[in-house]
Amino acid sequence: MHREPSTNACTDPQMRGSLAIRLVMKALGARSAFYVGFLVGTCSLYLFLSQVGLSRNLGSHGPEPHAKTVEEMIEEESKNWKKERSALFNLNHPHHTGEDGILADDLYKRVRVLCWVMTGPSNLEKKARHVKATWSRHCNIVVFVSSVDDPDFPTVGLNTKEGRDQLYWKTIRAFHYVMEKHGDEADWFLKADDDTYVIVDNLRWILANHSPEDPIYFGRRFKPYVKQGYMSGGAGYVLSREALRRFVEGFSKKVCTHTSSVEDLAMGQCMEKVGVLAGDSRDTIQRETFHPFVPDSHLAGTFPKTFWYWNYCYYPIVQGPQCCSDLAVSFHYVDASKMYLLEYYTYHLRAFGYEYRYQPPEPHIPQDKAPVPDNMEVGDLGQNQAVEKKEEENKSPEQNEKL
């Protein structure tokens, strides 16, 4: 069939290009033109498809991990958290695929921990958000304490300003707040900064040996200024329900007041005044569990001899691998990416089949909490003696109490 050149739908619209094509066509002949057209068609559509992203990936590195959309995230959050009264209530103790979390679940029910995190409006996106995404999911209840109320995050505003000089005010008000709103809903009350990483499961292992009715608190023990020592603020510290009750009572009776803005020291002084014991948080082979710095510093770093740290620690300082318990509870000065790294190391990455050197004994739950198991392991005897010793120690501060 012959058609007029200028109006032919088969020809290329651009004039110059079509001229060249026409010449090429003439030279090739119909059959070859067909084959060339076939090739051009295949190639151009392939390029088009790869642009659109439909062509399969040839460089085999496995399927791309499915990025979570905001909707999926919100849905998952509503399954795991209940937001109520400006606190986050954990509905499910997080589980990892393929793990047996029976022991951890049991402790989760017996040893209820409320975590309150010291933060501020300018740090919500930078720091507090990552705390919320990682370790705080293992607390029974989480409260983010700020100077401003934020119902979305959620944070609680406690009528303070921001700044280092406000730290003790925030602490005082925070403890009063959690006592009032959640005093019956938890056994232990942990204070942490928004750059502290806490392994709550390991905290429960330590706390399970004690009763929340004991006036005791735990953290990284420092020795100066306070006779029985005080706990480092940054490394986090945890009060028993009785200790919290005494703290609040101490303020109402004016035994404790806002003495200084050095939060951890002032806290330690108040604790001593109201007869709360400074506990030993080390593991069964005397390795520290609460840490005032990142793991790199404790494991591989060297602190200069003039560094304040050397004169502060209550117990002998160990540097290198024995600095830190396998069941570490906290690290401080942890930035966002390190939070995720610690989460990966703690809950995800492992050596398949590896038999750990340190085999921690099961905690001995105090009499009033749960019945003592019939078959006690040898390890338990050690814990048992430790508990008895502590209870004896408890008696002396109580006798000294003037209240």
Partner 1 sequence: MMSEGCSFMKGMFLGGIFCLVMSLFGTFSPGPQGDGHLHHHLKPVSKDELQKLSEAQMYDLTQQVRVYCVIMVTPKLLVYWATANDTWSKHCDKSVFYTSESSKALEALDLQEDDEWARLRKAITHAYENAGDLRWFFVARPTTFAIIENLKYLVLEKDPSQPFYIGRTEKSGELEYVEYDGGIVLSYEAMKRLVEIFKDEEKCPARGHALWKMSEEKQLATCLKYSGVFAENGEDAQGKSLFNKKSVTSMISDSMGKNPNDVVESCCSDLAITFGGMPAGQMQVMMYGVYRLRPYGHDFHDSLTFLPPKDSDND
Among positions 289-308, residues that touch partner 1 (CB under 8 A) are 295-296, 299-301
Binding of partner 1 at residue 92 (CB under 8 A)?
A: no
Among 97, 88, 220, CA closest to 152: 88
Separation CA 17–CA 90 (nearest Å) = 68
For partner 1, the binding residues in 369-398 under the rule CB under 8 A are none
Instruction: Give the pairing of strands 113-118 and 188-193.
Output: parallel
SS3 113: strand
Q: Quick one: which of 321, 389, 396, 403 contacts partner 1 (CB under 8 A)?
A: 321
Q: Which of residues 351-370 bind partner 1 (CB under 8 A)?
A: 351-358, 360
Nearer to partner 1, 68 or 85 (CB): 68
Binding-site member from 89, 177, 303, 340 for partner 1 (CB under 8 A): 340
Task: Residue 121: count other Cβ atoms within 10 Å of its Cβ.
Answer: 15
Q: Give φ, ψ of 324 to 5 degrees.
A: -130, 135
CB of residue 187 to partner 1, shortest distance in Å: 17
Nearest to 233 by CA among 251, 254, 219, 213: 219
- Select 101 or 157, whichever has its Cβ closest to partner 1: 101
- Provide, rounded to whole angstroms, the least separation between the CB of residue 43 and partner 1: 8
Residue 129 burial by CB count (10 A; 0-12/13-18/19+): exposed, middle or buried? middle
List 225, 307, 310, 345, residue binding partner 1 (CB under 8 A): 345
Q: Could you say whether residue 350 binds partner 1 (CB under 8 A)? A: yes
Q: Give the binding range for partner 1 (CB under 8 A) out of 38-46, 217-225, 266-274, 375-383.
A: 38-46
Report the alpha-carbon distance of residue 128 to residue 194 in Å, rounded: 5
**35: helix, strand or coil:** helix
Q: Phi-psi bin for 276: left (phi > 0), alpha (psi -120 to 50), beta?
A: beta
Q: Which residues contact 323 (CB under 8 A, 6 or more apart)?
A: 287, 288, 291, 298, 299, 317
How far is Cα 173 from Cα 181, in angstroms, rounded to an integer? 12
**Closest CB to partner 1 among 30 and 378?**
30
Q: Is 343 in the site for partner 1 (CB under 8 A)?
A: yes
Binding mask 185-204 vs partner 1 (x if CB under 8 A, - otherwise)?
A: --------------x-xx-x
Contacts (CB under 8 A) with partner 1, residues 230-269? none
Q: Residue 24 or residue 403: which is nearer to partner 1 going by CB? A: 24
Q: Which residues, numbered 119-148, are part of the site for partner 1 (CB under 8 A)?
A: 133-134, 138
**44 scored as a contact of partner 1 (CB under 8 A):** yes
Least distance in angstroms from the C-beta of 206 to partner 1: 9
Q: Which of 318, 326, 386, 390 binds partner 1 (CB under 8 A)?
A: 326
Among residues 8, 259, 311, 385, the one that binds partner 1 under rule CB under 8 A: 8
> Is 2 exposed, middle or buried (CB count within 10 Å of its CB: 0-12, 13-18, 19+)?
exposed
